[in-house]
């Protein structure tokens, strides 16, 4: 029953994501306006056929900017999360494989420290040290975001190591690296994928929040968080300026959360009952 | 369960779409204003409350002012501190400009030119510092000399002046140049008169002469003031003032709309439409007599070629810039001094109109030619520019970035705190930034401060023989007509040669609660936050 419901949620999330991703990634090939082109004569225009989401204070088409901003947001989030995932899985697997070693002990203490560090504060520190840019923001993401994946991977590797098949592999003299790659890591892929899907939603919100504060993408690049910040001054008189980025943030996060929940139900249908 | 979870966000999205497309924000704003007004009526403790028409005896006696920035220190010789202390009624100068631009005595009683190089200033015999010490001629001389020694920004205003005390109530000023307008120079905020013997390390040790005394201070956060009971003139009607720093401009808008503050200063022009729709506040929008200026760093080789600097100016559509970045609340100026009404004829003395073709030709001549993608390159390097902005200038920076991009120049915007610009200036690692200095004052003093090699505002490092010669001629000019003509000539030459690009006078938007009466709008932002006639009334 859970599995079927999980499938529905998963399909719903996937469909929503595809519906969002197709126009976002096809934006350069769609005959849309230039996302950077200013037009003083069309400032803060209300939604119309020409500008379905209206225009911003510079007369730039908000639909175009929202779609191009989505490329920036999704690609950067995907890149940062992919990097964090790779680092986290590798270190977590090594820590689990060499459980109790100095490497494992040091790594776990580092993870404890990083888990206690608020991401927003850390991103602000990075911005203060190296300047405000999307690259520095993503650097902060990678530095802090890998720890969850490392902890999960380590715990799964530790659990799987106790299985008879792994014991047998050791007895047969198979190299630890091969055991890690062939036996242990594959067990972690599913749960880590579920976690990554949920984390992607959180990451989109975090990056949008930091861009809103001016710590991420810099002008004139469109990005959902910075678009919200730009539109804030006109919100009371022309609320449509926030509609595009706000709607896409909500729908994208919702899509990733649905996918995550659906994947979790499919991969481990009993997980929900245990929680 | 999952379907139920989805319902709420979908409902939220649906409501947002309907609201956004129907312009519901405006209605919501009006409703909010109505609700706020009702709440204010109901709650006498709220800042904007009141019962009877006219002066409200039950009205709060604490005036809250939300500002972009407040003093960072208590010592008036620290950068910009004197401007905030004057704005808030704590500090005074010998003279001040009234809203019509006429110079009036404050701590002075009168001023008289004895000859072409000598002025005598009579001091107000009632004037005292907060400590009770008299503001006599010796104290004024000591104050001005302390400022001269410790405040680089005061130099342009007093570098040609020598002060001496004739007697306790008379100050003599010798001028290095003939026919200087000494009262005008001594009306600048940098010449704030303070007790030079005081320490200024706490509110208890500082000693100024204004109608309000500082009672509590948290740097760059909050300053509290109470009426100076020994003030010589009309005592202010409002007992206490709080000057609060709220760096975020939109938060300042919300602060005054919510009634949390009574005056919100330096508001974004983008908020004008919203504020005009509210009946709980009135707007003051007198343009400041200053010029939004892009300063370029001559230490950067790319800006050492005057053709590049001129191209940057030709490539700016100032009319569009004002529309995009200042909501149309200003007028274009192409020379620095022309935001001063006395030099209005110089507003388009050079770069008379937007001419991107001329800009392109100049860049071509300078060797910066477009590559296949339209980016201007020279010796394999692209023509790039990092423009630092602060406060409400982000939109201005973004519009400039776009306009220069049309020329093939890659501009990067760095928007942040003003301290970032100060730090960059100290290290010399900067390309360009935007700042607006006052253009109200004696032309020679102003131009020297900005464009002479030793000028405190000459950030770009401009040192030009012809400009120096013109400034020297201006210094020696003996009559008003020739001074004006020379100032215009120097102003025009500088606009073509100096590493500065003049844009438009910075619009200043101040929202005043409708419960407050007596606010006086002023073209000098530091002159107007409080006055003795401010009082609370029923809305």
Per-residue pLDDT reduced to its tens digit, B270-311: 888 888 888 899 998 877 888 999 999 999 999 999 999 999
What integer pLDDT is reported at residue B197 of this predicted model? Answer: 96
Max CA pair span of chain B? 92
What integer pLDDT is reported at residue A48 of this predicted model? Answer: 92
Of B13, B26, B401, the CB nearest to A219: B401
Asked if the C-beta of A90 comes within 8 angstroms of chain B's C-beta atoms, the answer is no
- pLDDT reading at A171 higher than 80: yes
What integer pLDDT is reported at residue A161 of this predicted model? Answer: 85
DSSP state of B367: T
Lowest mean pLDDT among A83-92, A214-223, B169-178: A214-223
Token pair for B40: 């204010």
Per-residue pLDDT reduced to its tens digit, B462-484: 999 999 999 999 988 878 889 89
State the CB neighbour count (10 A cutoff) for residue B278: 21
- pLDDT reading at B488 higher than 80: yes
Lowest mean pLDDT among A43-57, A216-230, B85-99, B141-155: A216-230
What integer pLDDT is reported at residue A267 of this predicted model? Answer: 77
Question: Are residues B436 and B292 in contact, defined by beta-carbon separation less than 8 angstroms?
Answer: yes
Asked if the C-beta of A36 comes within 8 angstroms of chain B's C-beta atoms, the answer is yes
User: How far apart (Å, rounded) are the C-alpha atoms in residues B33 and B39?
Assistant: 10
Q: Which residues contact B93 (CB under 8 A, 6 or more apart)?
A: B86, B106, B107, B186, B187, B188, B189, B191, B192, B193
| A42: closest chain B residue by CA | B324
What integer pLDDT is reported at residue B1 of this predicted model? Answer: 47
Mutate which of A232, A237, A253, A256 to test chain B, going by most B C-beta atoms within 10 A?
A237
For the purposes of burial, counting CB atoms within 10 Å of the CB of B506, is it exposed (0-12), middle (13-18) or buried (19 or more)?
buried
ipTM (interface pTM): 0.74
Of A12, A233, A236, the CB nearest to B29: A236
User: How far apart (Å, rounded) are the C-alpha atoms in residues B28 and B30?
Assistant: 5
Residues A233, B320: C-beta atoms closer than 8 Å: no
Lowest mean pLDDT among A177-181, B51-55, B427-431, B508-512: B51-55
Lowest mean pLDDT among A166-180, A260-274, B61-75, B426-440: A260-274
Residues A233, B270: C-beta atoms closer than 8 Å: yes
Residue B146 is inside which H or E element, if any?
helix B137-150
Asked if the C-beta of A272 comes within 8 angstroms of chain B's C-beta atoms, the answer is no
Residues B20, A47: C-beta atoms closer than 8 Å: yes
State the CB neighbour count (10 A cutoff) for residue A203: 24
State the CB neighbour count (10 A cutoff) for residue B54: 10
Residue whose C-alpha is closest to residue B309's, from B71, B508, B494: B494
For chain A, report the end-to-end CA distance as a whole number of angstroms.
Answer: 17
What integer pLDDT is reported at residue A214 of this predicted model? Answer: 75
The CA-atom distances, in angstroms, between A176 and each of A183, A189, B94, B97, B534 are 10, 18, 85, 83, 81
Residues A43, B323: C-beta atoms closer than 8 Å: yes
Mean pLDDT on B46-66:
58
Residues B25, A239: C-beta atoms closer than 8 Å: yes
Per-residue pLDDT reduced to its tens digit, B182-218: 999 999 999 999 999 999 999 999 999 999 999 999 9
Mean pLDDT on B31-42:
37
Query: What is the nearest CA distance from B469 to chain A, expressed in angstroms?
Result: 42
State the CB neighbour count (10 A cutoff) for residue A52: 14
Of B2, B9, B394, the CB nearest to A250: B9
Query: What is the nearest CA distance from A234 to chain B, expressed in angstroms?
Result: 7
Residues A237, B6: C-beta atoms closer than 8 Å: no
Mean pLDDT over all residues of chain A?
86
Mutate which of B10, B11, B18, B20 to test chain A, going by most A C-beta atoms within 10 A?
B20
Structural domains for chain A: 2-27+54-267 (1.10.3720.10)
Mutate which of A60, A239, A259 to test chain B, going by most B C-beta atoms within 10 A?
A239
What integer pLDDT is reported at residue A31 of this predicted model? Answer: 65
Mean pLDDT on A14-31:
90
Cβ contacts (< 8 Å) between A135 and chain B: which residues? none
Handedness of CA B72, B74, B80, B83 (dihedral sign): positive
| A47: closest chain B residue by CA | B21
Percent of chain A past pLDDT 70, that is, above it, reads 95
User: How far apart (Å, rounded) are the C-alpha atoms in residues A16 and B366?
Assistant: 53
- pLDDT reading at B242 higher than 90: yes
| B410: closest chain A residue by CA | A220
Mean pLDDT on A223-235:
86
Cross-strand pairs, B263: B65, B512
- pLDDT reading at A238 higher than 80: yes
The CA-atom distances, in angstroms, between A34 and each of A60, B172, B413 are 8, 65, 19
Query: What is the nearest CA distance from A228 to chain B, expressed in angstroms?
Result: 13
Residues A46, B23: C-beta atoms closer than 8 Å: yes
Question: Are residues A227 and A245 in contact, defined by beta-carbon separation less than 8 angstroms?
Answer: yes
| B29: closest chain A residue by CA | A236
- pLDDT reading at B50 higher than 90: no
Residues A247, B13: C-beta atoms closer than 8 Å: yes
Mean pLDDT on B121-148:
96
| B394: closest chain A residue by CA | A219
Of A40, A236, A250, the CB nearest to B324: A40
User: How far apart (Å, rounded) are the C-alpha atoms in residues B103 and B226?
Assistant: 27
What integer pLDDT is reported at residue A4 of this predicted model? Answer: 62
Question: Are residues B471 and B487 in contact, defined by beta-carbon separation less than 8 angstroms?
Answer: no
- pLDDT reading at B228 higher than 90: yes
User: How far apart (Å, rounded) are the C-alpha atoms in residues A44 and A52?
Assistant: 12
Lowest mean pLDDT among A78-82, B161-165, B177-181, B469-473: B177-181
Cross-strand pairs, B355: none
What integer pLDDT is reported at residue B28 of this predicted model? Answer: 38
What integer pLDDT is reported at residue A172 of this predicted model? Answer: 86
Of B16, B26, B277, the CB nearest to A246: B16
The CA-atom distances, in angstroms, between B218 and each of B63, B151, B203 are 17, 22, 10
What integer pLDDT is reported at residue A258 of this predicted model? Answer: 92
Cβ contacts (< 8 Å) between A250 and chain B: which residues? 9, 12-13
Question: Can you tell me which residue has the tokens 């760059």?
Answer: B220
- pLDDT reading at B377 higher than 50: yes
The CA-atom distances, in angstroms, between B206 and each of A130, A241, B151, B213, B390 are 39, 48, 17, 9, 30
Query: What is the nearest CA distance from A197 to chain B, expressed in angstroms?
Result: 17
Question: Are residues B82 and B189 in contact, defined by beta-carbon separation less than 8 angstroms?
Answer: yes
Percent of chain A past pLDDT 90, that is, above it, reads 36
What integer pLDDT is reported at residue B3 of this predicted model? Answer: 55
Inter-chain Cβ pairs, chain A and chain B, closer than 8 A: 94
DSSP per-residue letters across B9-47: HHHHHHHHHHHHHHTHHHHHHHHHHHHHHHHHHH-TTST
What integer pLDDT is reported at residue B253 of this predicted model? Answer: 93
| B389: closest chain A residue by CA | A219
Max CA pair span of chain A? 77
- pLDDT reading at A203 higher than 50: yes
- pLDDT reading at B496 higher than 80: yes
Cross-strand pairs, B96: B104
Residues A218, B405: C-beta atoms closer than 8 Å: no
Residues A243, B1: C-beta atoms closer than 8 Å: no
Per-residue pLDDT reduced to its tens digit, A118-166: 888 888 888 777 777 788 888 888 898 899 999 999 999 998 888 888 8
In chain B, which residues touch A (CB < 8 A)? 1-2, 6, 9, 12-13, 16-17, 19-21, 23-26, 28-29, 249-250, 268, 270-271, 273-274, 277, 320, 323-324, 394-395, 397-399, 401-402, 405, 412-416
Residues B9, A254: C-beta atoms closer than 8 Å: yes
User: How far apart (Å, rounded) are the C-alpha atoms in residues B396 and A38?
Assistant: 13
| A247: closest chain B residue by CA | B13
Mutate which of A58, A236, A245 to test chain B, going by most B C-beta atoms within 10 A?
A236
């Amino acid at each position: 029953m859970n599995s079927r419901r999980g499938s529905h949620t998963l399909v719903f999330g996937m469909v929503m994501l595809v519906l969002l991703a197709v126009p976002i990634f096809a934006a350069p090939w769609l005959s849309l306006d230039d996302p950077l082109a200013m037009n003083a004569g069309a400032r803060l225009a209300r939604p119309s056929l020409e500008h379905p989401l209206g225009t911003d204070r510079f007369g730039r088409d908000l639909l175009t900017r929202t779609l191009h901003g989505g490329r920036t947001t999704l690609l950067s989030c995907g890149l940062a999360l992919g990097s964090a995932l790779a680092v986290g899985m590798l270190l977590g697997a090594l820590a689990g494989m060499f459980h109790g070693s100095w490497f494992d002990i040091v790594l776990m203490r580092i993870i404890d420290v990083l888990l206690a560090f608020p991401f927003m504060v850390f991103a602000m520190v990075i911005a203060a040290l190296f300047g405000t840019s999307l690259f520095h923001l993503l650097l902060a993401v990678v530095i802090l975001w890998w720890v969850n994946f490392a902890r999960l991977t380590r715990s799964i590797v530790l659990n799987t190591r106790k299985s008879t098949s792994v014991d047998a592999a050791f007895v047969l003299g198979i190299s630890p690296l091969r055991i890690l790659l062939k036996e242990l890591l594959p067990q972690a892929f599913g749960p880590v994928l579920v976690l990554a899907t949920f984390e992607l939603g959180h990451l989109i919100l975090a990056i949008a929040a930091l861009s809103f504060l001016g710590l991420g993408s810099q002008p004139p690049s469109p990005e959902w968080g910075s678009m919200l910040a730009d539109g804030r001054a006109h919100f009371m008189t022309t609320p449509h300026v926030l509609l595009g980025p706000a709607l896409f943030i909500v729908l994208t996060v919702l899509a990733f959360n649905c996918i995550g929940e659906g994947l979790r139900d499919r991969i481990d249908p009993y997980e929900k009952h245990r929680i | 369960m999952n379907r139920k979870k989805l319902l709420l966000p979908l409902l939220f999205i649906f409501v947002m779409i309907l609201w956004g497309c129907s312009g519901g924000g405006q209605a919501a704003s009006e409703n909010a204003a109505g609700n706020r007004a009702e709440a204010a009526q109901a709650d006498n403790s709220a800042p904007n409350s009141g019962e009877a028409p006219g002066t409200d005896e039950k009205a709060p006696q604490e005036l809250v002012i939300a500002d972009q920035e407040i003093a960072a220190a208590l010592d008036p010789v620290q950068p910009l501190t004197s401007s905030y202390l004057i704005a808030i009624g704590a500090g005074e100068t010998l003279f001040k400009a009234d809203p019509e631009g006429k110079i009036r005595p404050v701590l002075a009683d009168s001023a008289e030119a004895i000859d072409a190089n000598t002025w005598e200033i009579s001091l107000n015999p009632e004037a005292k510092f907060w400590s009770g010490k008299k503001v006599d001629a010796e104290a004024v001389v000591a104050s001005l000399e302390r400022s001269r020694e410790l405040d680089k920004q005061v130099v342009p205003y007093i570098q040609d002046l020598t002060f001496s005390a004739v007697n306790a109530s008379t100050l003599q000023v010798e001028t290095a140049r003939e026919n200087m307008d000494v009262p005008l120079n001594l009306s600048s905020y940098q010449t704030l008169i303070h007790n030079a013997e005081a320490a200024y390390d706490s509110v208890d040790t500082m000693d100024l002469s204004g109608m309000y005394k500082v009672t509590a201070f948290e740097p760059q956060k909050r300053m509290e003031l109470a009426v100076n009971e020994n003030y010589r003139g009309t005592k202010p009607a409002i007992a206490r003032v709080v000057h609060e720093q709220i760096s975020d401009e939109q938060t300042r808008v919300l602060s005054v709309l919510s009634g949390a503050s009574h005056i919100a200063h330096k508001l974004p022009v983008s908020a004008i439409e919203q504020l005009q729709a509210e009946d709980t506040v009135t707007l003051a929008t007198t343009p400041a007599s200053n010029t939004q200026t892009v300063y370029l760093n001559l230490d950067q080789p790319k800006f050492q070629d005057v053709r590049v600097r001129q191209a940057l100016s030709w490539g700016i559509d100032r009319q569009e810039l004002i529309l995009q970045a200042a909501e149309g609340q200003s007028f274009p100026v192409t020379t620095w001094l022309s935001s001063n009404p006395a030099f209005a004829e110089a507003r388009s003395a050079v770069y008379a109109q937007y001419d991107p073709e001329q800009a392109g030709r100049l860049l071509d001549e300078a060797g910066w030619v477009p590559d296949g993608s339209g980016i201007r390159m020279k010796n394999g390097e692209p023509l790039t520019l990092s423009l630092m902005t602060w406060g409400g200038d982000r939109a201005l920076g973004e519009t400039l970035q776009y306009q220069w991009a049309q020329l093939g120049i890659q501009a990067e915007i760095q928007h942040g705190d003003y301290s970032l610009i100060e730090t960059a200036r100290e290290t010399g690692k900067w390309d360009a930034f935007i700042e607006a200095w006052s253009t109200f004052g004696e032309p020679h003093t102003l131009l020297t401060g900005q464009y002479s090699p030793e000028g405190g505002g000459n950030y770009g490092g401009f040192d030009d023989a012809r400009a120096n010669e013109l400034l020297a001629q201006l210094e020696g000019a003996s009559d008003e007509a020739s001074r004006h003509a020379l100032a215009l000539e120097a102003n025009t030459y500088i606009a073509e040669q100096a590493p500065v690009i003049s844009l438009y006078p910075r619009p200043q938007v101040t929202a005043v609660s409708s419960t407050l009466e007596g606010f006086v709008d002023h073209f000098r932002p530091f002159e107007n936050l409080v006055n003795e006639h401010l009082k609370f009334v029923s809305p």
